[in-house]
Structure formats: C-alpha cells, structure tokens
Amino acid sequence: MRVAIAVDIGASSGRLVAATLKGKQLEMNELHRFGNAFMEKDGHDYWDIDALFKEILIGLKKAKAAGIHTCTLAIDTWGVDYVLLGASGERLHDVYAYRDERTVGAADRLHQNLIGRESVYAKTGIQELSFNTLYQLYAHDRGQLEQTNQILLVPDYLYYLLTGQKINEATNASTTQLLNLQTREFDLDLLQALGLKREQFAELTQPGTSLGGLKAELAETGDYPECSVIVAPTHDTASAVVGVPATTDRSWAYISSGTWSLLGAELSEPLNGDEPRKANYTNEWGAYGTFRFLKNIMGLWMIQEVRRENGESHHFAELAEWAEREEAFRSLVPCNDERFLKPQSMTGEIIAFCQESGQPVPDTPGRLARCIFDSLALTYLDAMRELERLTGQTYEVLHIVGGGSNNKLLSQLTADLLGIEVWTGPSEATAIGNIAVQLIAAEALADIRQARQVIADSFPPTICHPNQVNNRNHLLERWQRINQLTLKET
Ligand code: LFR
C-alpha cells in the first residue's frame, strides 16, 4: 500500500499525517502533532527551528512504529521566513519569526531609498506586508548577508536537513517578493538593491519534483521509513489551495483559514496592475502554474492571542459557543489595521479601539470572541467585493478550508453577509493538498482536477446557506465609519 506523509507546520501547530489512497478515497491518519510558537530572545522573536526538526524526526519514528516501511514525504510551512547558510552549510543565525519588529518602517525606507513601491509591485505582483522576505532581508545584518552562501526559506531548510539538498521551492519563493512575474526567476534589480547575488539562492524548484531519499546519516539509523522525498507546494497556503474540494463548474473563491485568513481566487495569469496594488492584492505562485490572487486578513491570530492572554483556559469551541449567544455586531474592529499585527495585548488593543471609537467594550471572553468573528466576517465581505471588482468575476461559492473552517459561527456569518453558499472543510486542507501533490507526482492521481474530486469525495464539505442580515444597510454604514478610523493596513 502506497503511503504519503505530509509534514505540515503552521505558526501555531505542526503535524505529520499519513495518507493512503483506497480506491477513490483518501484515508488519513495523524501520526504526530506538536505545538509551535515564536519565542522572544534579546528583544527579538524567533522560531525554534531545531525543535521543529526534532518533531519531524519523532513523527517519522512514529510512522515506522506504526508499520510504515516505505513512503513518500513532503513538507510545507508558513511563508516568508528564511535561513542563511554559511560556506559549509552551517546556519548563521537564529531564525527570525515574521512578526519580529525589526522590520517596522523597513518597507518605507526601502521604497524611499532604493526602489519605489510601484516598480516592485509591477515586477513581483506581491502585496506589501511588513514582513515580506524582501523587507526582512533589508533589515538583516549586512555583514551576515555578505558571509551568506545560501538563502533558504524555512521549509527549504527542513528539506536540506532531511536530504542534504538545497532548493528554493517556487511557491514559497514567490512570498519573498523577490521573484519577477515576467522572467519567472529571481529579479536581479531587487537582489542588487539588497546587495545580494543570484548564486546565494538555489535553483527555483517546482512542487512535485523528487529529491530522492533521506540523507545517509538519517537513513542508516534504521529508525525511519524509507522515504522518497517529494517537493510539496512548500508554502502552506499553496498546499491549502490545492486541497480546496472544488469540483463543480460554479465559480469559486476560497479562504484558507488559520492563523491568517487568506481570501482569494485561483487564476491562470497574474493581475499586477495599479488597482490590485492599491487594494494590496497579491499574486503568489501556486502549484501547477496557477496564481493565488489573494489578500491576507488578520485571521484567527486575534482569537489565538486573546485565548493565550487568558491562560489558554478556554477551548476554541467553547469561545465560539459563547460568542454565538452574544448580541451580533455589538462592537467591531478593523482587523487588518497594523495595530493588531503584534500588539502588547490583543485583548487590550481590541478594548482600546472600542473605547476610542465610542463602542461598547467587549468585557467577557464571549463578547471578545464575538467582536473578532463579526469583524472578520465583515472584513471577508470587503475583500470579496474587492476580489470581484479586480477579477471581473462573480463568485457563486466560497470555500473555507483549514482549521478555521470548524468555526460554524464565522462560516455562517460569512455566508449571511456575502449572500452566497459557503462550503466548509476540510480542516486539514493544507496537509491534504501536500499529499495530493505527492500522489500526482507518484502518478497515483492524474492531475489536480482528479485530486480535488477525490478530496471532495473523501471529506465532503458542509454547506452554509445564507440567511438575511437584519438592518444590513445600517450595519454596513457603521462598518464603513469604523474602517475610516483605520490608520494603516498591515
Ligand atoms: C499562512 C501564511 C500566509 C503568510 C503568512 C506568513 O500560514 O503562510 O500565507 O502570509 O503565513 O508566512
């Protein structure tokens, strides 16, 4: 029996999942799950990359113990974060987490001093987010960049630790904001502006490429299955979009809902004109030559933070249940305002905004959760309207995949506000998309179309039908006023 193992690591948790294709059904089995979070050291935020690698090895040991002797294996993680390697392949630094504040103001400085916003967008089609690798590298220690032999992104680095091979996987490389849409290569002007050379990056590698086996020192231990390592769409969002169970001919958009909510459409050509730039839409590269035309929305990070600040004493499901009992649209916050990117206290920041804007203060966990879900759903509405305007399409169905698709209240609110069907699940779309690419590479599935059919059959989505929203016009006017108070987007 062919087994495909996905290593899928997000900003708040990671997992190894094994899947087998039985007839037309995918059967999935979670092998190992672990937490992830950035940690502070000397005033900066870092990922514990060594701990993450150890978790991968623990998961692979569990796979072997569960009787998996041979498998294919692929890795995805969040985007943009990078690892600099020296001449002998050694890591030169701790791995910064993208919310680290050293990039505050870096985008403005780079655009003023080196190359304008408009040209960067025309070249890359990538939305401006303060933490794009372009800005992170600009804020990085110069001396260290000069010593750097190779720049890998986080999943590339994990592949390197597993196989000894250095690649720059294409979907994730596009999140650096250093790739040129025309040449489909690293943009030499941008590299030059950063003082970098093309040789400091590896070959751009497409998802589905085979990297051979584990490196000898791992394989020889006999602790792990014999792995045939495949390149996933290593950017988790790219894997999640492959995992969208879209099978009908109805036009569809998606939200990949996790720490971030990524709302967009799958396009065959990028849209990088003035209008998408002003709306801060991005053209991240997808698997199989597609583009993920999408927008980052603050997402479940807000509720994750509120929960953490509360000593993690409530489950997400419990918070959602309490939120459901609260009055709808009582207090609203502009989720995409920069102030919510990494506030000292998320709870404090939400309360402060409500006070400043003369709204009732959400003073219980249920009310805070309600405020976040209501505000996210309204932000989805705005982003969908922008998406429709920019692509000239009307979307009949919105798929919500990822962990956030378990949140029934948020999905129903979204359906109600958008007035279209919202199809939710699978919640493990990222791991499933990663696995689908392995199965296509192994020729067990023909293509993405067939993969999506199998995904839909194996994990049938739940459909939320839209209900009428009371006092809709009044609500939308209030929401508009609140957004006018927004100072700056992330
Ligand atoms: C989602 C995600 C987003 C990216 C953000 C930072 O997990 O990968 O797509 O913008 O995290 O990498």
| Cα 258 to ligand 1 centroid, rounded to whole Å | 9
Q: What is d(CA 391, CA 438) in angstroms, rounded to the nearest whole number?
A: 31
Ligand 1 nearest atom to the CA of residue 256, by list position: 1
| Cα 237 to ligand 1 centroid, rounded to whole Å | 7
Q: State the pLDDT at residue 346.
A: 98
Ligand 1 neighbours, Cβ below 6 Å, are 10-11, 78-80, 98, 235-237, 258-260, 262, 296
| Cα 436 to ligand 1 centroid, rounded to whole Å | 20
Ligand 1 nearest atom to the CA of residue 80, by list position: 12
Q: State the pLDDT at residue 22.
A: 95
The DSSP call for residue 479 is: H
CA 406 to each of CA 94, 290, 414, 426: distance values in angstroms, whole numbers, following the listed order = 34, 27, 13, 9
What residues are annotated to the active site?
236
- Mutating to test ligand 1, I would choose from 77, 80, 257 the residue with most ligand atoms within 8 A of its C-beta, which is 80
Q: pLDDT digits over 42-88, tens only? A: 999 999 999 999 999 999 999 999 999 999 999 999 999 999 999 99
| Cα 303 to ligand 1 centroid, rounded to whole Å | 17
Q: pLDDT digits over 151-172, tens only? A: 999 999 999 999 999 999 999 9
* Mean pLDDT for the stretch of residues 119-136: 98
Q: Please enumerate in sequence order all residues whose Cβ is within 8 A of that of 74, keeping only pairs 6 or more positions apart, or say none.
A: 4, 5, 6, 7, 229, 230, 231, 232, 434, 435, 437, 438
- Which helix (H) or strand (E) segment is 418 a member of? helix 408-418
Residue 474 has pLDDT above 70, yes or no: yes
Residue 487 has pLDDT above 70, yes or no: no
Q: pLDDT digits over 238-296, tens only? A: 999 999 999 989 999 999 999 999 999 999 999 999 999 999 999 999 999 999 999 99
The protein residue whose alpha carbon is closest to atom 9 in ligand 1 is: 237
Q: What is d(CA 139, CA 39) in angstroms, rounded to the nearest whole number?
A: 19
- Which helix (H) or strand (E) segment is 8 a member of? strand 3-9
Q: What is d(CA 162, CA 74) in angstroms, rounded to the nearest whole number?
A: 11
| Cα 365 to ligand 1 centroid, rounded to whole Å | 26
Instruction: Yes or no: say if 62 and 32 are a contact pair by the CB < 8 Å rule.
Output: yes
- Mutating to test ligand 1, I would choose from 82, 260, 434, 489 the residue with most ligand atoms within 8 A of its C-beta, which is 260
**ipTM value greater than 0.90:** yes
Q: pLDDT digits over 184-230, tens only? A: 999 999 999 999 999 999 999 999 999 999 999 999 999 999 999 99
| Torsions phi, psi for 263 (to 5 deg) | -110, 125
The protein residue whose alpha carbon is closest to atom 7 in ligand 1 is: 78
Residue 393 has pLDDT above 90, yes or no: yes
- Mutating to test ligand 1, I would choose from 103, 262, 294, 336 the residue with most ligand atoms within 8 A of its C-beta, which is 262
* Mean pLDDT for the stretch of residues 417-445: 98
Specify the pTM. Answer: 0.98
> Which sign, positive or negative, has the C-alpha torsion 308, 312, 316, 320?
negative
Residue 1 has pLDDT above 80, yes or no: no
The protein residue whose alpha carbon is closest to atom 8 in ligand 1 is: 78
The DSSP call for residue 269 is: S
Burial annotation 452-463 (CB, 10 A radius, 16+ → b, else e): bebbbebbebee
Q: State the pLDDT at residue 490.
A: 52
The DSSP call for residue 105 is: T
Work out the pLDDT band at 489, boundaries 50, 70, 90: low
